[in-house]
Amino acid sequence: MTDAAINAGAAPREQGPRPQLSAAEARLKKRYRSEMWFKAQGIAAIVVAMIFLVVLVGRIVAQGYTTFETHSISVPVYLNPDRIDRTALDGVNYDYIVAEAVMKKLNIQDDDLGTTSGKVMDLVSRDLGFQLLDKIKADPSVIGKTIEVTGPVKADADLYFKGEIKRSTAEEDRKLDNQQLAWLDQLEKDGTVKGGFNVGFFTKSDSTEPEQAGVLGAVVGSALMLVITALIAVPVGVLAAVYLEEFAPKNRWTDVIEVNINNLAAVPSIVYGLLGLALFINWLHVPRSSPLVGGLVLALMALPTVIIATRSALKAVPPSIREAALGVGASRAQTVFHHVLPLAMPGVMTGAILSLAHALGETAPLLMIGMVSFVPGVPEGFTGASTVLPVQVFIWENASERAFHERTAAAILVLLVFMIVMNAAAVILRRRFERRW
């Protein structure tokens, strides 16, 4: 650009009465144009980044919010004593009994082949059948009576009510045929099927049936795992940082530790998974896919970030505090633990919470230590098989049923809410307690 400016200034002899000025003006104009252009590029970059953010969050909300509404069906079921074998309660076909009740509501008869009842069974979750079994087990005297059960409709029926499965689609391309759709309309009209908030999504664990799948098991698993991570990474990380920042002599050995920590912070998370697999599972025989082993792996992963955050919090405490404490006769340890560390605590906690939030969203290393397995219940403890929220997202994303896709997005929303809460806690902590020296 400078060369161009010089050339423009060198040529202009016969350009009119004030050639110098107009050349300079032209040059200036060009420079301002390039200035505008550059600024526009910067703005464009920001706008692009913001668009990505909006599209990302918007798509997930759009895909996931429908999960929070669900449709449930309430039918009076006659527990026909002829059909229920009291000696083998588990072997009874409760789904058929429920289907019978629904057919009665619909005023239709089953044919000899059971096609109709089969079609009805495709509309109602097996959850109702399990409820009947539980009720009979709790009180066998209900056999022969009519009881009211309420449970979710099948995921496909739910998708129809939500408009995801449309009548306009050709019949053979839909999971539900015209007759089934007509039944569903009828059931909704007479109030047998009602829409409502999907409580089950928060009170149930993973299931192979989308309408019965929930995030409770994964949330509990994540919580147990984070407890382990926090109990190991925070104390060890803070104490290591205190040593390096306040006590360690400056020598090659501490340099090695320092370089090491910086490098550890940038090791890909999947490598920690390999470490966990080789060290904790194959060598120490920690139970696979347990919150314990997951917590250990994530603790190793979070350790360098906790150390780095703590060190910068300690650095922010002015030396005058240390000098004053030492001046009145405190020992080095007393200075640090009675004065410096408490003053650095807000910064330390902020860093710790942020690295725990990061650990909460981590998936890759957990795949290595067997967390992808299907775990239907709430984890029993630190050594029981469990799953965690991000892995649950991964598992559901791989599921082929369409209804799992909205659940995946909803699980992501739950995960994001937890992360937002943790980040907000960190920000509040920083705002509330941060001191400027």
Grouping H, G, I as helix, E, B as strand and the rest as coil, residue 401 is coil
Choose the binding region for another protein from 58-66, 122-130, 190-198, 321-329 (rule: CB under 8 A). 58-66
CB of 341 to another protein, least distance (A): 12
Longest alpha-carbon distance in the chain: 114
φ/ψ of residue 71, rounded to 5: -115, 135
Burial class (CB in 10 A: 0-12, 13-18, 19+), 339: middle
219 near another protein (CB under 8 A): no
Smaller CB separation from another protein, 180 or 355: 355
Stretch that binds another protein, among 115-123, 140-148, 188-196, 242-250 (CB under 8 A): 242-250
Pick 49 or 227: Cβ nearer another protein: 49
Q: In the window 377-396, what residues touch another protein (CB under 8 A)?
A: 390-391, 393-394
Residues that contact another protein, how many (by CB under 8 A): 91
Residue from the set 361, 376, 377, 384 that interacts with another protein by CB under 8 A = 361
Does 261 participate in binding another protein (rule CB under 8 A)? yes
If one asks whether residue 221 binds another protein (CB under 8 A), the answer comes out as: no
Q: Is 257 in the site for another protein (CB under 8 A)?
A: yes
Decide if residue 270 touches another protein (CB under 8 A).
yes
Residues 297 to 336 in contact with another protein, rule: CB under 8 A: 300, 303-304, 307, 331-333
> Between 100 and 139, how does the x/- string for binding to another protein read (CB under 8 A)?
----------------------------------------
Distance of closest approach, residue 137 Cβ to another protein, in angstroms = 24
Q: Per CB under 8 A, does 244 bind another protein? A: yes
Collapse the DSSP code of 358 into the 3-class scheme (helix H, G, I; strand E, B; otherwise coil) and give the result.
helix
Q: Which of 242, 298, 325, 343 binds another protein (CB under 8 A)?
A: 242
45 binds another protein (CB under 8 A): yes
Helices and strands (H and E) in the chain: how many? 18, 3
274 binds another protein (CB under 8 A): yes
Ranges assigned E (strand) in 139-184: 146-152
Given the rule CB under 8 A, which of 65-73, 79-87, 211-219, 272-280 is the region that contacts another protein? Answer: 272-280
Give whole-number Cα distances, 162 to 158, 166, 209, 410, 413, in Å: 6, 9, 18, 15, 19
Alpha-carbon span 22 to 218, nearest angstrom: 71
Strand 146-152 versus strand 193-197 pairing type: unpaired
> d(Cα 385, Cα 377) in Å, to the nearest integer?
9
17/175 Cα distance (integer angstroms): 83
User: In the complex, what is the shortest distance from the CB of residue 147 to another protein, in angstroms, rounded to a whole number?
Assistant: 36
**Torsional sign, CA 279, 282, 283, 289:** positive
Alpha-carbon distance of 404 to 410, in angstroms, equals 10
Q: Taking CB under 8 A as the criterion, which residues in 60-89 touch another protein?
A: 60, 63
Nearer to another protein among residue 197 and residue 247 (C-beta)? 247
Which C-beta is closer to another protein: that of 101 or that of 348?
A: 348
Using CB under 8 A as the binding rule, whether residue 46 contacts another protein is answered as: yes
Rounded to whole angstroms, how far apart are CA atoms 348 and 355? 11
By CB under 8 A, tell whether 421 contacts another protein.
no
Count of residues making up the chain? 437
Task: Tell me the closest approach of the beta carbon of residue 248 to another protein, in angstroms.
Answer: 7
CA-wise closest residue to 204 among 124, 131, 142, 139: 131
Neighbours of 291 (CB within 10 A): 30
Q: Give the C-alpha separation, 345 to 313, whole Å.
A: 8
Q: Is 20 one of the binding residues for another protein (CB under 8 A)? A: no
Beta strands in 153-266 (DSSP E): 193-197
**Binding to another protein by residue 415, rule CB under 8 A?**
yes
Give the nearer residue to another protein in terms of CB position, either 72 or 408.
Answer: 408
Token duo for residue 433: 């307690």
CB 77 within 8 A of CB 148: yes
- Comparison of 118 and 370: residue with beta carbon closer to another protein: 370
User: To the nearest whole angstrom, how small is the minimum distance from the Cβ of residue 308 to another protein?
Assistant: 11
